[in-house]
Amino acid sequence: MRVLTAVIAIAAGSLILGGYFLPALADVQTLLLNWAIILAGVAVLVGISNLISVHTDKISRREKGSAYSALLVIGLVATLSFGMILRPHHSTMKIVMNGIIIPAEASLMGVLTISLLYAAIRLLRRRADLMGIIFLSTAALLLFGSATMPLGDIPLIGTLLRPWVTQILALGGARGILIGVALGTLTTGLRVLFGADRPYGGN
Amino acid sequence: MSDMIKCPSCAENNLPDQEFCQYCQTRLQPLTDPLDGADAPIKPGQAPTKKNTAELEPILPQWLRDARDSARKDDQQATQQNLQQPSQLKPASSAKDLLAGLQSQAGDDEEDDMPDWLASITGVNSKPIKSQTESFAVRWVELGGKDDFAKDESDGSSSDLAGLKSSEPQPDENNEVRDWFRNLGNPEQAQQPEQSDSTDSDLPDWLRVTGSQNEKSKSADSADHSESGVGEPPAGIISEEAESPSDSPKPNQDKSFEWLKSTVPATSSREEIPDWLSNDAAVPPAFTAAEDESAELKDAQSNGISDRLETVALQSPSSLTAVEDEPSGGISDRLKAVEFQSPIHTESEEKTIEPAQDADTLGWLDTFQAVSAYQPENSLAQVDFTPLDFAEDFQASDNMDGLFTDIPDGLLSTLEAPPSSLPTADTNSEAIAPDDQPSWVESMRPVDSDISELSSNFPADQTVESSGVLAGLSGVLPSGLGFAQMSRPKAYSTKLQVSDEQLAQAALLEQILAAETAPVPIASFSVLRTSRSLRWFLAFIVFVMITIPLFMRTQMFSLPVGVPMDVNGALQVAQAIPESAPVLVAFDYEPARVGEMEAAAAPMFDQMILLRHPHLTFISTNETGAILVERFISGPLAVHNYQSGIQYLNLGYLPGGQMGIRAFAQNPVVTSPFDMSLSSAWDSIPLEGISSLSQFAALIVVTDDAEAARTWIEQTESARGAIPFVVISSAQAAPMIQPYYESQQISGLVSGLYGGALFEQYNAGRPGSARAYWDAYSLGMLLAMALVLVGGLWNLALGLRERVAAGETQ
């Protein structure tokens, strides 16, 4: 079975890779990718089912926090029902989105902002070294450079320093990260094709 | 003729019923039952079988080993005395007389039962069997020490020996005499007319012949004995038995020496003394030399020793008994003391006399003591000292000088024989008499050297046998070498035998191993307690500082000035798309960033709709993207009143992530055939005539995730062709997307509120969302910058103070 799964994985990867270079394999590539999309959609449904079963089990055992589990299950079922019945572009679904999802996530983002600010203030108390100081100094500089003054951009910082930091330093770092990601992706793909890594199971 | 008995002596035939030979009166019938087996007597001509007695030594009875031990001790003492007085013994052996050569023959005594001198006398060959003929009496005569005593005893001027008459010989000592020898002393046989003949029959041939020769000179010898200068023995020395008539045989005559017994079988008269005993020849040179060399004797002579005693002293050792026949008054006290020192007496007697010996004994007496010490106790016990016989013999002797003249060499050599050759008597009263000892025991008697070796090898085993034929004997079966004590095998426990020290070391090793495997805590900073008040303060001040400008709709802060290249590229795309051109828009951001993303994207879409009225097709790889599209259309772009299915189309959610994007890029119709209302998307107005990604007029990706932007950029590159690609991202993801703009993979980039504000400036300030947030945004950025700087410096100072305090504490 392990050999069979490896053969299937290597064959699918090889065909999809070949579809980038060989036009004849484009249809096969598309077919395989569609199968993957379907499997991904089913996986979402499986995930939702698993989520419902876990929290239902917690509710049945009346564990600590089971009330939140009940709320989650109720919200999920309601949203799913409304979405399937009313469709996503229905006004009710917009209310659910604008009144529940977006404020909830936005509030979490706001809490994250407070937490990041608090961490930045306390950073030098825990780690008063050069890198900490540089980190905080850079953050403060970019924050200061991102803002504008009533009379316009902050001289030098908003017009020179901030663009230089974001377009030079950050760009260089981002490129390096992207190159590393590309190499890692290439290596991972080759390992999967050669069967060295079997993320689908078996090793 | 077959029933006739052949005499072993004369070889004449006799009738079977005859007890004695009718020709030579030799006993034909043995007195005892014939012995057989190991006890069988050794026949004439048969050489004794040599045995390795060392192997049998461990099984010898204890009494026998004790006897050997005592003999060894006596030998050692005698050797020491000989070393101290060599001059008194050497002359005898070195003298060139008839005694000369006995020293060399001493070693052959055990092989030749008859000495050469006796053989020369009797004219017969020596018999190979020696054990039967050899007796301790012969050894006693050979010692010669008694002669020295006789010499002193004859000296009536020596008063120190007076009163030291030896006690009567013990009757038990008769048991130690050989059978044939004991028979000689039987009074009944002696009284019989044919007693002499019967006695001769038990004697060896040479003795019998010698006895017959002595009878011829009996009368002359008796006359000489009566006229001898020895005279009557001292009263103190002569026993009561010695005072009895000499013509009657004495019961203890069997205690005499063999050769004397055979010579004088029934009488002690001087007439029966053999020729060589009755010979009045001069004193042997050997004795003369010995006397001359004895300084002690010279001193005695100079001190007035009588001539008669001096003469006796120069005679043979056998004259000692003659001296004992003398009256007691004629013996000096000194001589008596010496007699007591003889081994004949018990050890207690010797101890009582020792002081006198040390004080008064002369050198020659010391020599006597040394020689007498060599005498085995066994021989002394077996052969009783018979002063009566000797007294009678010497009384009958006319000239004692003749006796010593005829003393054979063997006797004198015996005097000088090494102590080791003399057996040791067994003083144990419970010891088995020699008569009771079988011949095989006699043959197994080892030499002294072997005894010493074996005694050193085997420990004393005093185990007494309780059963069997060896019952009552001790040390019969000692444990030999290699025979360890038999016992049950020692039971060994399977438990590990360790000491306390080993246990301690093992525990220490376990501790070391445990320390190696124990996780080492990583040194970290002390836990910094969270400051809830600070967090509430920050939340409050940020909330106030942001909400106030929002609710007040202030426009204190100016919008940013200038247009970056990336924003400029997006602006050009928005202005360059054709009229009512299909534009594919990917909405991949989280609802949490709705505010930022809508503020960043609204100016561009507002400008495009205002300028080109594009048909927008929305697709999302995020589950909430489709709803966010509806929110975006109904929110910032609500003024444009775009209708779904007419101006825009929402394809909804594109599953599969990267693979879905790749599939959609290759074949969007197949990948997303329906819109959110489940109607055919590709037949709708927005997608009319569109079957591939490259047919879109532009591709705009609105995302807050750099990974999603990278996926769209990379997976659609080959499918999109040359269509413009604009990314509207959050400020957080902009740095990661910026390289794609620099590499011309995307046409423009609008990042965050800052990019929206810039784009909004080139859109106449529409929709105004960026401007609405810009004061709050700018104030929040300044506040955050101020809090980070002030708070950072404050906490830096606190941290330094704590570290200094911690350093001082340590």
Contact A150, B715 (CB under 8 A): no
Same domain, A78 and A50: yes
User: Which residue among B656, B706, B788 sits closest to A136, beta carbon to beta carbon?
Assistant: B788
pTM over 0.80: no
The answer to whether residue B133 scores a pLDDT higher than 60 is no
Across the interface, whether the CB atoms of B785 and A44 are under 8 A apart is answered no
The answer to whether residue A116 scores a pLDDT higher than 50 is yes
Task: State the pLDDT confidence band at A18, using cuts at 50, 70 and 90.
Answer: confident
Same domain, A134 and A150: yes
Give the minimum alpha-carbon distance from B739 to chain A in angstroms, rounded to a whole number: 6
- The total domain count for chain A is 3
Tell me the percentage of chain A whose pLDDT exceeds 70.
99
Tell me the percentage of chain B whose pLDDT exceeds 90.
2
The answer to whether residue B453 scores a pLDDT higher than 60 is no
Q: What was the pLDDT predicted at B119?
A: 55
Contacts (Cβ under 8 Å, ≥6 apart) of B584:
B617, B619, B693, B696, B698, B699, B700
Task: State the pLDDT confidence band at B116, using cuts at 50, 70 and 90.
Answer: low
Tokens of A15: 């065909």
In chain B, residues 701-730 whose CB comes closer than 8 Å to chain A: 706, 710, 718
Q: What was the pLDDT predicted at B167?
A: 42
Same domain, A79 and A99: no
Q: Quote the radius of gyration of chain B (alpha carbons, Å).
A: 73
Give the minimum alpha-carbon distance from A155 to chain B in angstroms, rounded to a whole number: 11
User: Is residue A94 less than 8 Å (CB to CB) from chain B?
Assistant: yes
**What residues of chain B lie within 8 A of the CB of A178, using their CB?**
710, 736, 739
Give the minimum alpha-carbon distance from A166 to chain B in angstroms, rounded to a whole number: 7
Same domain, A9 and A79: yes
The answer to whether residue B721 scores a pLDDT higher than 80 is yes
Task: State the pLDDT confidence band at A66, using cuts at 50, 70 and 90.
Answer: confident
Across the interface, whether the CB atoms of A88 and B676 are under 8 A apart is answered yes
Tokens of A25: 């394999």
Same domain, A116 and A176: no
Tell me the percentage of chain B whose pLDDT exceeds 70.
47
Across the interface, whether the CB atoms of A128 and B525 are under 8 A apart is answered no
| Tokens 């990278």 -> residue | B710
User: Is residue A179 less than 8 Å (CB to CB) from chain B?
Assistant: no
Task: State the pLDDT confidence band at B411, using cuts at 50, 70 and 90.
Answer: low
Last residue of one domain, picked from the residues A55, A86, A117:
A86
Q: What was the pLDDT predicted at B461?
A: 56
Amino acid present at B488: R
Mean pLDDT across A77-105 = 83
Same domain, A122 and A145: no
**What residues of chain A lie within 8 A of the CB of B549, using their CB?**
none
Q: What is the pLDDT of residues B40-56, one digit of tens each?
A: 666 666 666 666 666 67
Give the minimum alpha-carbon distance from B503 to chain A in angstroms, rounded to a whole number: 46
Same domain, A11 and A34: yes
Strand ranges for A12-171 from DSSP E: 148-149, 152-153
User: Is residue A177 less than 8 Å (CB to CB) from chain B?
Assistant: yes
Task: Write phi, then psi, for B447 (nearest 5 degrees).
Answer: -75, 165
Distance CA B708, CA B656 (A): 12
ipTM of the complex: 0.84
The answer to whether residue B675 scores a pLDDT higher than 70 is yes
Q: What was the pLDDT predicted at B700?
A: 92
**What residues of chain A lie within 8 A of the CB of B594, using their CB?**
102, 106
Q: What was the pLDDT predicted at B96?
A: 44
In chain B, residues 737-756 whose CB comes closer than 8 Å to chain A: 737-739, 742, 754
Task: State the pLDDT confidence band at A183, using cuts at 50, 70 and 90.
Answer: very high
Nearest CA in chain B to A151: B558
Last residue of one domain, picked from the residues A98, A126, A154:
A126
User: Is residue B644 less than 8 Å (CB to CB) from chain A?
Assistant: yes
Q: What was the pLDDT predicted at B612?
A: 84
Q: What is the pLDDT of residues B331-348, one digit of tens each?
A: 444 444 444 444 444 444
**What residues of chain B lie within 8 A of the CB of A20, using their CB?**
718
Task: State the pLDDT confidence band at B702, using cuts at 50, 70 and 90.
Answer: very high
Give the minimum alpha-carbon distance from B599 to chain A in angstroms, rounded to a whole number: 14
User: Which residue among B667, B734, B781 sits closest to A147, beta carbon to beta carbon?
Assistant: B781
Q: What is the pLDDT of residues A41-62, one digit of tens each?
A: 898 889 989 999 999 999 998 8
Q: What was the pLDDT predicted at B508?
A: 92
Q: What was the pLDDT predicted at B327?
A: 44
Mean pLDDT across B386-402 = 45
Across the interface, whether the CB atoms of B631 and A97 are under 8 A apart is answered yes
Same domain, A119 and A162: no
Mean pLDDT across A140-156 = 81
In chain B, residues 649-688 whose CB comes closer than 8 Å to chain A: 650, 652, 654-657, 659-660, 662-663, 666-667, 670-671, 676-677
Mutate to test the interface with B, among A118, A160, A186 (most CBs of B within 10 A): A118
Same domain, A82 and A3: yes
User: Is residue B731 less than 8 Å (CB to CB) from chain A?
Assistant: yes
Q: What was the pLDDT predicted at B504?
A: 92
Report CA dihedral (B651, B655, B658, B659) to the nearest 10 degrees.
Answer: -100
Task: State the pLDDT confidence band at B318, using cuts at 50, 70 and 90.
Answer: very low
Q: What was the pLDDT predicted at B368?
A: 47
Please name which of B672, B706, B668, B671 lies closest in space to residue B589, comparing C-alpha atoms.
Answer: B706
| Helix, strand, coil abundance in chain A, percent, nearest 5 | 85, 0, 15
Contacts (Cβ under 8 Å, ≥6 apart) of B479:
B461, B485
Amino acid present at A167: Q
Across the interface, whether the CB atoms of B710 and A178 are under 8 A apart is answered yes
Contacts (Cβ under 8 Å, ≥6 apart) of A117:
B538, B542, B784, B787, B788
Nearest CA in chain B to A104: B592
Q: What was the pLDDT predicted at B203?
A: 52
Q: What was the pLDDT predicted at B235?
A: 41
Contact B480, B459 (CB under 8 A): no
Last residue of one domain, picked from the residues A35, A58, A86:
A86
User: Is residue B541 less than 8 Å (CB to CB) from chain A?
Assistant: no
Across the interface, whether the CB atoms of A171 and B800 are under 8 A apart is answered no
Task: State the pLDDT confidence band at B545, using cuts at 50, 70 and 90.
Answer: confident
Give B702 or B448, the one with higher predicted confidence: B702
Give the minimum alpha-carbon distance from B725 to chain A in angstroms, rounded to a whole number: 19
Same domain, A116 and A178: no
Across the interface, whether the CB atoms of A150 and B676 are under 8 A apart is answered no
In chain A, residues 105-134 whose CB comes closer than 8 Å to chain B: 105-106, 108-109, 113-115, 117-118, 120-128, 133
Q: What was the pLDDT predicted at A50?
A: 92
Give A25 or A152, the one with higher predicted confidence: A25
The answer to whether residue B314 scores a pLDDT higher than 50 is no
Same domain, A6 and A72: yes
Does residue A62 come out as left (phi exceeding 0), alpha (psi in the -120 to 50 range) or beta? left
**What residues of chain B lie within 8 A of the CB of A118, using their CB?**
531, 534-535, 538
Q: Give the distance between the most distant pair of CA atoms in chain A.
A: 71
- Tell me the count of A-B CB pairs closer than 8 A: 212
Q: What was the pLDDT predicted at B278?
A: 47
Mean pLDDT across B255-266 = 46
Same domain, A20 and A42: yes
In chain A, residues 46-85 whose CB comes closer than 8 Å to chain B: none
Q: What was the pLDDT predicted at B323?
A: 41
Mutate to test the interface with A, among B528, B541, B659 (most CBs of A within 10 A): B659
Mutate to test the interface with B, among A112, A122, A159 (most CBs of B within 10 A): A122
Distance CA B401, CA B280 (A): 5
The answer to whether residue A69 scores a pLDDT higher than 60 is yes
Contacts (Cβ under 8 Å, ≥6 apart) of B178:
B132, B135, B434, B435
Domain with A172, as residue range(s), is 128-203
The answer to whether residue B699 scores a pLDDT higher than 70 is yes
Task: State the pLDDT confidence band at B561, using cuts at 50, 70 and 90.
Answer: confident
Give the minimum alpha-carbon distance from B581 to chain A in angstroms, rounded to a whole number: 24
Q: What was the pLDDT predicted at B34?
A: 57
The answer to whether residue A22 scores a pLDDT higher than 80 is yes
User: Which residue among B671, B734, B794 sits closest to A37, beta carbon to beta carbon?
Assistant: B671
Give B484 or B594, the one with higher predicted confidence: B594
The answer to whether residue A92 scores a pLDDT higher than 50 is yes
The answer to whether residue A73 scores a pLDDT higher than 50 is yes
Nearest CA in chain B to A114: B539
Mean pLDDT across B363-379 = 47
User: Which residue among B538, B594, B737 sits closest to A117, beta carbon to beta carbon?
Assistant: B538
